[in-house]
Chain A
């Protein structure tokens, strides 16, 4: 009988890690990984695979780990995913692969994410060569955006022999992996940069500082620069605000701004020139992963961090692991609370946030119990920095500057589910630009599907 408990994984002590930006989870050692892999039952009909959006041969790679054939394990995953060290860290495995693991019925599911991460890290630390591609076809494809969907699409197309160029608006590749997810969950210099380098080693060219829609248009790329197909993976990076009074006071930020300053611009590090407001008491409004990332960043910058969320703990959209980590690090959860006004002093600095208490009513269309304000329960939270983490929507720039590219009422690009084909000939799209803000792995799935469809289109 297999051991029902998963092998414990090393983590930085909460008290210590709340003061630094180093990775919280230390990852499995070789022996620990082998031991955890040994628990896998190697099911004939592996349910875990059915719940992985890119259908990684999970029992296949785990069997190699069990046999200490780590390089082979790398090669198995590489057939499906170019970003194992990223996905192993940030995928919500508990609702995906691990949710259907048979061991999970009576005990702990196999730690598939942690094993994938181990394999990804092994690949990087041992320089496993993954640069093999099919013969070059000499056909140019443009990929817009270097987030998870763009990197995946570009990687797959390069493997198929295409001449791929990624156009990235920021100065560094990775999309949300570099500007959004903090260092303590996803190290930038080692993990993200390395996985971007892996994609470049396949022959993919990367042009940073190019904003498609401003620097160059999709039509120009196709007509003047001879790109035969385009994949749009521009994400959903437009922040939402609540529209309550006081939102433009000094000290109110979008989570995107706060995280971009800290992660991409490295404002948390000595010697980097971008400033960041650390705040003494920081309220993060929202309950998703981005909210957890923001509040944990604020705590590391020395603040008392609060999560202000209008529903209760069981409705928090963030991963359970992140909520747990946040609490361990001293984050205070102000649940069933909704801000109604941000208060400022005569200089326009935030000095508090007026909130109202909520209770849960009947489930709404989304199936979640609807929060209802409790009359007369207003109170003022004593905070001097507010971070709005209410979600994001796709940037309208590309649709506005690309004739014939259809969008829906949520400003998402309309694309066929199976192929990513848009309303414009030879233009494909995927990831958050199509779905609205979702997960890294779903963006990768969309990138993969589009790469397959583009290959089919251009080889006929």
Chain B
């Protein structure tokens, strides 16, 4: 059970937001701070919360995170948990873990990363006997993407532990029965066993590096940090890393998938070549996506992220150095800036989360929803963007966006049947 240690508004907001993105139940508890607790500390609130949660909702683990409120007042979660243990509030065999997640530092991805590291801190352990298993930290991606990562690992015949894994949690079946703790999710024993794996692949440096580094330090599991496998070369890098770490051969089936993606890129090249793209989102999503845009012949024109990152920006400029040396890369900025930039420097395509639709509408731009959150479409949770299969979907989405606009706007005598 995720538990938000702060006033309840945060918890209501993040549950609503994730629900709107996934169209799925998002359950979490909160300490429900009042003014008194905000001044004198949230010990009593958390203790009461834990008693209620374990009695009413019976989770195996309560995973506590904080808000700006409890961070500013300086609540010491481990001490509160210890006191709760002493008071007999935490039942036998159950656990409370925690991550400090001050909202005035970084972004939601920082929180994700700290939470992944907390799983390692509290759970991963090493028995000294290495098993032929590869850990995969998937980063901030969709349940469909996690499913795709597992499919690729299974195609390669690699034993793996994927953590976290929201497939079958955030895309569960509707069959008349509500399960507060759905079938999916990385199990506690898997999280513990990560310490005995041969190696870790951490996908997306911002989301996954911290946990992978902790695991190396704690249990001496070697790790490599990779980009999220979006597009051809980033997926190649992932498949190759998995091949080497697992000491396996890439099956013909996966090579064919790769070839089908290259084939589609070649088929559609005339529509993609030198098209200018404005794109915004989280750094981990943007880096491989921009690589892919360059691979298919497009020109990233303006790249904006809300996250700080000078080094990251430099890296993006290098990726674009040949395709568009003039690329505008702006970390710690916003969609308003992006919109103003586009007004002065027209582009052919906009990519980003749902909030981009207002810019797309006002500038009449083809728009591909990409990243988080997507609040007004459903495909993101059902179909992957990762892997070669995800690449096929991205090319489909980009060309659909171009063609829909063209079909809508071309004068009757110029409408093409075949494209």
Do A and B interact with each other, yes or no? no
